[in-house]
Structure 1
Amino acid sequence: VICEGAGSPAEINLRAGDVVNMGLARAAGLPVVVVGDIDRGGVFAALFGTLALLSPEDQALVAGFVINKFRGDVGLLRPGLDMLAAVTGRPTYGVLPWRSDLWADAEDSLAHGELLGRPAPPHGAEWLRVVAIRWPRIATVTDLEALAVEPGVQVRLTAAPADIAAADLVILPASTATVADLAWLRATGLADAVWRHAAAGKPLLGLASGYQMLGRAIRSASRPSDTIPGLGLLDIDVTLAARATVTRAAGTAYDGIPVSGYAIHHGHVTRGGPVPPLLRDADGRPEGAAAGHIVGTHWHGLFECDAFRRRFLVEVAQRAGRHGFRPAPDTRFAAVRQRVLDLLGDLVEEHLDTAALWRLIEDGPPPGLPFVPPGAPRDMTAPGP
């Protein structure tokens, strides 16, 4: 089993409650390889500083480093790698090159600029312009990536109201803080831009918490008096609960197109009237809402279902007046993902010392790794397992 951490292992203010980085490594005695993104700059300082801010117990598990997203001649980088080894007592297991086609399944939205992916030319005569709100606490960007693989579909992340005006489809994606990001939407003027888009009859999609924001009101299950107005674009009410719904999902959409995905959200929806569902689950229960050009769902992963994605985009194009848009009949998201994984695997095999990494997997952290001062302050480190 290879475990991927989340964020930096040297967030010393969070170390006492860490369960995904060095906390996991300590609990299981796992060897650790720290990966540095050289494309962001300062990679040697980041790698050295990360190690030097860990406790002696954590440092004893850090076996070495990998540098990612390098552009240029590795020979020019080599002296720096040697110096890093000299001051840390740990090797760099390799340098992975920058590849522009390794964009799908990004760790988070920070891996994307304004434009997602590398849009291929349209299969038909027109492009479809999709704009998704870039929440301060955006989540599950993979929903948008599955749209961006479709030829002729340009997907942008934005926090600018002016970008909404030029969009054919506006998406309110998932957020990890529904109430706070809804307040931000209003404060930035984006809510007004979304209302104008919807009033013009243009397609609007809400995903997960973005779906909840489209409703009339959002209230707390524990304190019903804590109610805030939603955008009022769907005849639904949302009650937020402390316990999250986490489940795999499967069902049908439109005229029986099979769909699958997953749901992970807080709260449930109450329909205020006969709002047609976007989907039905395997037991026939309604999910989401489809009120003409305004639709929403709690389910993630739907656009990875090729037939559903194509049908959805056809409807969006018709409602947006993009009659020259045609979805490509042969785009398979699973194949796109597999190509990305194969490419990444090839790069790892070519550019990393896989024999040394395999020894780490078999033998664990090398004994006698030196401590690099100053280390983390003792009151910021978690107790040993």
Structure 2
Amino acid sequence: MSLIVLGTASHVGKSVTVAALCRTLYRRGIPVAPFKSQNMSLNSYITADGNEIGMAQAVQAFAAGIEPTADMNPILLKPKGDRTSQVVLGRPYKDVQIQDYYTETDMLLARAVEAFERLRRRYGHVVVEGAGGAAEVNLYDRDIANIRLARSLGLPIILVADIERGGVFAQICGTLALLPDDIRPLVIGIIINKFRGDIGLFASGVEVIEEITGVSVLGVVPYADIPLPSEDSLSLGDRRERPAGGLIRIAVIRLPRIANFTDFELLERYVPVDYVLPG
């Protein structure tokens, strides 16, 4: 069985959830592959055959016990300017402005679906990751990472929400209310992520969510600072725990479009690393 993991917003834990599902299936002896139709990231991974995909899909592939391939992330967008991105379809395709990119969404969606089908034929099971928030209503006609992909694949959907930032009831209920009528019935479960404290105290909250939405809460996941590679520069310097003391402190210039800054994350395990804005 394959499924889609969508989120109520960015950074709610979709990538980790997909990696966890892949690892769980792998440990049970079930072949599985990760998939994300479109990823926007300056941190990329080079596959064995020289193709380029998002770092998160590489991590998910390793969790599934398989080698990363271009089909796991057929479309990678690498921002180059405020309105320009490099489009990577395994290999660099072209630089486009965002309004021009949207004119090619039909072709790109078709490529993504073909990549998904190849993975499904090879592995039997595919865990699909959406991008950002699922309920971006102004983008529904061109959202090939969430709504249009879900419509094309027709797979069951799990919705992930982040309780740490607050407003989890509005996140979940608002997202479900805004989903298109043909997509909402595909949602089979909800995962509430990044809970701090005694999970038992949220039992009544789970009941409220299930009563309002009619969708089962599959689980409440406790917060954990998992040292996985970050996908964008918003996370730079956002580690909650840093090494204490020491004679060495490393300063890294935080350039506007710094790429592959995950190279510095290994240093963060041993010495303090400060990301300094230029100027």
- TM-score, scaled to structure 1: 0.37
Which has the greater radius of gyration?
1
